Amino acid sequence: MSSDQVVPESVVFCRGRAKTRVVYYRGETLLETARRSNISLSSSCENGDCGTCMVELLKGQVYMRQNNALDETDLEQGSVLACQAVPVSDSIEVEIY
C-alpha cells in the first residue's frame, strides 16, 4: 500500500443492530483494528487460509493481502477476510458474523 493511499479515519463494526466506530491506523487489517479496540472477532490461522475471520463488507473497499478461503461467490456477496483486509477507501463498515 502506497503512502498516498486513501484510508479511513475510522472503521464501523456492526453486530446486529449494534454499531461501534473505532479509530483506524494506516496499514492495520480489520482484525488488528478490531482486536486493538476490544471487539470480539473470530480468527484462527490469520494467513487467509481458513475463513474463520470472514466478515461482510457493507461499505467501502479493502485490499486483501491473501485469500485462499473465499471463492468468487463469497467475494461478490461482500465477504472479506478480516485478517487480510486492509481498508483502501475513506469509509469502511463491516458486519461481524
**CATH of the domain spanning 28-96:** 3.10.20.30
- What are the structural domain ranges in the chain? 28-96
Write the pLDDT tens digit of every residue in 8-54: 999 999 999 999 999 999 999 999 999 999 999 999 999 999 999 99
Sign of CA dihedral 8, 52, 32, 45: negative
Average model confidence (pLDDT) for the chain? 95
Q: Which residues have CB under 8 Å from 6's CB, separation 6+?
A: 88, 89, 90
pLDDT at 3: 56
Q: Is the pTM higher than 0.85?
A: yes
C-alpha cell at 60: 467501502
